[in-house]
Structure 1
Amino acid sequence: MKIYTKFLLVVAMLFASSVVSAEDKEVSTYLQGAYVDVQTATDKLKSIGYEIVTTYAPVEKGHTIVFTNDALKAEGAKPKRAHASVLRLFIDDEAKTISFTNPVYFGKAFMQDDYNDVVFNAQLEAINGAFAGLKGSEDKMPFDDLAGYHFMMGMPYYEDIDELAEATNEELLARARAYEEGKLLLFELKLSDKSTLLGYEIGKETKKFVEKIGRANAAVLPYCVSIEDGLASSLGAKYYLAVSYPQLSMGEFMTISDIPGAITTDLTKPFKK
């Protein structure tokens, strides 16, 4: 009986250890693989049910494909979750590589306690099925740290958004469409009657930060703006850059210390009366 009891105790300890290990598992920020061109990638994404939202050039000789589907839009339609409605694929025509935003990583970061593993793992499986040989990036973070992530003490969390303007949704959308004759509005994705996600172009000088701290993560752009319940907002730039570049050191962050403020300034301009 004592031997049996000890056996059960060992099994229980091993089980507990496996649970802790699963919870503490590190998740790669990006899924990287062999080069395919924009048209080939677009065709592959469409073949597995994705809608192409826009194709954008964040850097010279590089393109980001922003894509979505009904499941992602349904998640993004939940209150304050609009940024989870799209995924991105950066195609580097210079380095001849591709890099997807990992659905599980950004799903957990942007959905917080509303994260649905079934939905975001399904995206991961679909992408891996269509693009063979993808491997996790060196950029990564423990899964359980993603929902409460901030770069360091005093830095913003996911919920610490940049509030850009208040008005009716219709008025805010009208301003975004009209500013600079709509040339900076990269996409408009309606998620519900109360929520729309916009892709917006930031200034030419502002977006140079990508080349400075790592073009491999250029899927960080285009920057997005949420229009929801009469508020135009964007993810706090100090949060969004840090979660997109989790290996960024304090020294590297200081080299772009003016960029978060510049991003907020750029995104506020379209919504001024």
Structure 2
Amino acid sequence: EKEVATYKIAAYSDVEAAKSKLTGAGFEVVGTYKGDSGTTVLFTNAAMKSMANKPNRGLAAVGRLLVDDENKQISIANPIYFGKAFMQKEYNHATAASALASLEKAFGPLKNSTDKWEFDGLAGYHFMVGMPYYEDMMVVAEGSTADLVAKAQKAKGTTAVVKLGDDRYVAFVSLDRRTNGFVKKVGAQNGEILPWAVLIEDGKAKALSAKYFIAISYPLLTMSEFMTIATVPGAVEKDLQKVFK
């Protein structure tokens, strides 16, 4: 399809039922995160981890699902949409489509979200001129990979640390409660944007620029709406730096 939905919407169920459907479909549930609008469930499988076990690609290894208590629905981050964005030229459509097919079988029928973007534009996505691309990640800490992983694991509120390779991990860490408030402002229905992912490899802890990740997670966001959360990108960076102090 020319345009791809950012999320796939399924009928509402509780967290335990959602987790059971994921494991029944061959996924490994690696963590859950309670947010203001519901619960994010993080999941992966061997194919997703293998695909993403490459430099700067680890963020594609873990899928996100939101049990949305506010809107009484389940919202699943589309593995094709985020796979294309995060894997860039190394995107593997067979792996992404297989993950989506498994999710459809477990939760289907799935509807497309109103949020969407042109498939061909996802790898080079940026909000507007002068705004960051996928590759413009922020380095929030440096040190040995083992030390950075240990700090992520010990940090208060860490949801999961997933090993992809001998020197590659992806951690899902909590932001300060005040920072988290941006989700309510720009749309609780996409609350699976939290917790924030940090890629740990080659002695660096790297995260997507908040200006990029918020925009690609909310592709219908207008400039005026973005300006209502203008302080959030700086707050996200500070919060992530605290995790690794």
TM-score norm. by structure 2 comes to 0.98
Give deviations 1:117-173, integer Å, cap 9, x for gaps: 000000111111111221010100000000000000000000000111111101212
Name the SS for the 1:252 alignment partner. Answer: helix
The structure 2 residue matched to 1:148, chosen from 106, 124, 128, is 124
Q: Distance in 2 between the 1:221 and 1:270 partners?
A: 15
The residue identity in structure 2 corresponding to 1:221 is L
Q: Distance in 2 between the 1:31 and 1:164 partners?
A: 31
Aligned pairs for 1:199-238 (under 5 A) are 199-238=172-211
Aligned pairs for 1:61-140 (under 5 A) are 62-140=38-116
The structure 1 residue matched to 2:33, chosen from 38, 42, 56, is 56
Report the equivalent of 1:19. none
Q: Distance in 2 between the 1:55 and 1:175 partners?
A: 19
Report the equivalent of 2:163. 190
Name the SS for the 2:177 alignment partner. Answer: coil
- State the shift of 1:33 in Å: 2.0
Which protein has the larger Cα radius of gyration, Structure 1 or Structure 2?
1
- Confirm or deny that 1:159 pairs with 2:135: yes
Check conservation: 2:152, 2:161, Cα contact below 8 A. no
Check conservation: 2:158, 2:174, Cα contact below 8 A. yes
- State the shift of 1:221 in Å: 0.7
**Greater Cα offset, 89-98 or 207-216:** 89-98
TM-score norm. by structure 1 comes to 0.88
Q: Distance in 2 between the 1:271 and 1:129 partners?
A: 39
The residue identity in structure 2 corresponding to 1:129 is K
Report the equivalent of 1:4. none
Q: Distance in 1 between the 2:159 and 2:10 partners?
A: 26
Give deviations 1:216-248, integer Å, cap 9, x for gaps: 000111101111001111011100000000000
- State the shift of 1:263 in Å: 0.4
- State the shift of 1:116 in Å: 0.4
Name the SS for the 2:54 alignment partner. Answer: coil
Report the equivalent of 1:268. 241
Report the equivalent of 1:254. 227
Report the equivalent of 2:216. 243
Percent identity over paired residues: 49
Name the SS for the 2:172 alignment partner. Answer: strand
The residue identity in structure 2 corresponding to 1:93 is D
Q: Distance in 1 between the 2:140 and 2:206 partners?
A: 5
Runs of 4+ in 1 over 6 A off after TM superposition: none
Q: Distance in 1 between the 2:24 and 2:226 partners?
A: 39
Report the equivalent of 2:8. 31
**Which segments of 5 or more consecutive residues in structure 1 lack a partner in the other structure?**
1-21
- State the shift of 1:177 in Å: 3.2
Give deviations 1:81-103, integer Å, cap 9, x for gaps: 01100111101123211100001
The residue identity in structure 2 corresponding to 1:141 is W
- State the shift of 1:52 in Å: 0.4
The number of residue pairs the alignment matches comes to 245
